[in-house]
Amino acid sequence: MQVTRILAVRHGETTWNRDTRIQGHTDIALNPHGQWQAARLAQALADEPITAFYASDLQRALETAQAVARAHGKEVNTHVGLRERCFGRYEGHTWAELEARWPQESMAWRKRVPDFSPPGGESLLQLRERVVQTVTELAARHPGEQVLMVAHGGVLDILYRAATRLELQAPRSWELPNTAINRLLWSPEGLSLVGWADTTHLQSADGTQTLDEH
């Protein structure tokens, strides 16, 4: 049985990441630092054999994927199923604003209540169903090959949980850095984890990180 190798990457940094502002489906572009991160990612993956390039249709993910695809002379295929979780009326607000305006809802969000939906948004259960279905659909097209999927923090969180068989409410003990390289395997039996949160391409010559994560 041939597996599909997946390079799963969160988009580069945006101004809203810096401001700890909830993005969701709001279409925010990369900031200059995010563009630099995407360029470093492209350098890091320049020699990787990548058959297909997929991204969320939101520009912060698409821009990141395009930087890598250009180095391979390829185009990026967008898929709405790779979008970030929809946060409805929360989008555009900071965490502090959410906790001040809607404290009970914010608590349900912090506790990762699986069926809780922000007004106008998606629950974690809905997000998991969408993400796993999308990644399964895309990965099944490429048995024995390697593909790039550029998405969002919420999507990457779901993929980690799916690959490690962790429940939606399990506390997060892993990082989701912008443009970190995450390696997964997909087979008809599901996802498995190979490597997570590789940010060596974002480090300076002395080994220190050159970015702030949000």
User: CA-to-CA distance for 170 and 77, rounded, in angstroms?
Assistant: 32
Query: Where in the sequence numbering do the catalytic residues fall?
Result: 11, 84
